[in-house]
Amino acid sequence: MNANLKSARMAGVLFLVATVTYMLGKGLMDSILNEPNYLLHVYPNRTQMITGVLLELVNSVAVVGIAVFLFPILKKYNEKIALGYVAFRVIEAVILIIGAISPLLLIQFSQAYIDTGAPADSYYQAVGMLVIKGNYYAFQLAMIVLGLYSLLFCYFLLQSKLIPRLLSVLGLIGYASLLTSGLLELFGYSSGMILFLPGALFELLFPIWLIIKGFNTSTMEPKQ
């Protein structure tokens, strides 16, 4: 197995790790935070909350790992694209980490809320919602960052023919939809899940392709 195929496979595995850990982490936290009076449930279920945060942190590490493993392959064809991909993935990861840590604040906040007798319509509710909104907006910003550079990344893949053309086009559609969704949500317009579907499909098929086939490096001459 050559070095390019090993790196492509590792990147593919990390794509899947990032997807699975984020979905599991968000699911664990949302099952608590979506409760009508969530502040009564956060502290008693703090182990579940912390597990959810840790899983989202694993996702952030995996996001950077994807770019690191793809870098030695991409730089042979376009070093600027390779460096940009690493930089934007690091920015995405930092934003996601900030967003993932914020729910930890709710644990102590929930304890104080319970200890004071869970007063109705108190400032606890308002501050708690600010923390949740902070997590929400951090995710949207991360998706905007991801969508912006991934459009250029997929355009490069389309031109270089390192992966099948249809898969590259799906990536362009997916990340354009993701970028649109993030912007709409940031400005207060709900886009639902429909705009996530093309990107989700790409981030499932692309890593599978990398794991099985890797990049078709015979289609493009590396730059000297």
Domain count, the chain: 1
Q: Can you give the pTM of this predicted structure?
A: 0.89
Q: How far apart are CA 116 and CA 211, in angstroms?
A: 53
Q: Assess if residue 153 is contained within a domain.
A: yes
Q: Assess if residue 62 is contained within a domain.
A: yes
The pLDDT of residue 127 is 84
Low-confidence ranges of the chain (pLDDT < 50): 224
Q: Assess if residue 7 is contained within a domain.
A: yes
User: 159-196: per-residue pLDDT in tens?
Assistant: 999 999 999 999 999 999 999 999 999 888 887 788 88
Taken in order 185, 188, 193, 197, the sign of the CA dihedral is negative
The pLDDT of residue 224 is 45
Q: Assess if residue 221 is contained within a domain.
A: no
Q: How far apart are CA 153 and CA 81, in angstroms?
A: 7
CB 4 within 8 A of CB 210: no
Q: How far apart are CA 52 and CA 21, in angstroms?
A: 9
Q: How far apart are CA 56 and CA 59, in angstroms?
A: 5
Q: Assess if residue 224 is contained within a domain.
A: no
3-state SS, 50-82, equals HHHHHHHHHHHHHHHHHHHHHHHHHCCCCHHHH
Tell the residue number behind the tokens 């990147």, with chain if given.
11
| Token reading at 210 | 């990398």
Q: Assess if residue 222 is contained within a domain.
A: no
Q: Assess if residue 223 is contained within a domain.
A: no
Q: Assess if residue 157 is contained within a domain.
A: yes
Q: The domain containing residue 150 runs over which residues? A: 3-216
- Is residue 121 helix, strand or coil? coil
CB 3 within 8 A of CB 72: yes
Q: How far apart are CA 221 and CA 126, in angstroms?
A: 58
